Amino acid sequence: MTKLSVNINKVATLRNARGGNNPDVLQTAIHCQDFGAEGITVHPRPDERHIRYQDVRDIKPHITTELNIEGNPIGKYVDLVLEVKPTQVTLVPDGDAQLTSNHGWDTIENKGFLTDIVGRFKEAGIRTSIFVDPDPKMVEGAKTCGADRVELYTEPYASGYATNRDEAIKPFVEAAIEARQLQMGLNAGHDLSLENLHFFHQRIPWVDEVSIGHALICDALYMGLRETIKLYLACLK
């Protein structure tokens, strides 16, 4: 069954806008898992403009499901992951000033670097996923680097869904089939929503995990966090 991991970065963004601790990021993480989420995702960036490194340390002892830490494996990020030891680490090629993730790794060009990083995390017993575009060659490259899983960057699917969802999903099905043939785990994330999640899961039912933040937190403003998580879980049945 596909797991839902809730990305709580946007909750931290709201907190940071005014200072203080409202909304409470730790309590949000606890509520998400209490309301049925099977994972919590955080994506600390170097400028800590949303999730802070200390947030990750504070959250870890309270997560009884899975904790997934996304990010660009710069030095202090690597140190944080090895200190906290989450269930999963997802390697994302973000630049320092990047607003949000907008592409996956070139796992062929960066093979040496990624192989070294993946090896360090796996040696620590951490499941490792590499964020990739929906390209079978990039999936194969991630396998060569030693990754346990790939996470497909789904923004192109989300942006093409309204126009032609069958065409939009095609490259993702191809990449997902490649991952399955290579016996790799499969995650997906970025701009998945209540509008497009069910069809994605219908076409790729073997996806292990979807990581959803922005759309889910926006929906929760109208419907409440408990009801929103319930609706997203229903899309994955």
- In the set 66, 70, 140, 178, the catalytic residue is 70
Scored b (16 or more CB within 10 A) or e, 172-205 reads beebbebbeeeebbbbbbbbbbbebbebbbebbe
Yes or no: say if 122 and 148 are a contact pair by the CB < 8 Å rule.
Answer: yes
Write the CB contacts of 235 (distance below 8 Å, at least 6 apart in sequence): 194, 197, 198, 201
DSSP one-letter string for 50-115: SS-HHHHHHHGGG-SS-EEEEE---HHHHHHHHHH--SEEEE----TT-SS------TTTTHHHHH
214 is catalytic: no
Yes or no: say if 115 and 150 are a contact pair by the CB < 8 Å rule.
Answer: no
43 is catalytic: yes
- In the set 50, 140, 178, 190, the catalytic residue is 190
Yes or no: say if 178 and 149 are a contact pair by the CB < 8 Å rule.
Answer: no
Q: What is the C-alpha separation between 88 and 151, in angstroms, rounded?
A: 12
- In the set 43, 151, 178, 201, the catalytic residue is 43
Write the CB contacts of 198 (distance below 8 Å, at least 6 apart in sequence): 235, 236
190 is catalytic: yes
210's enclosing H/E stretch is strand 209-212
Mind telling me the catalytic residues?
43, 70, 190
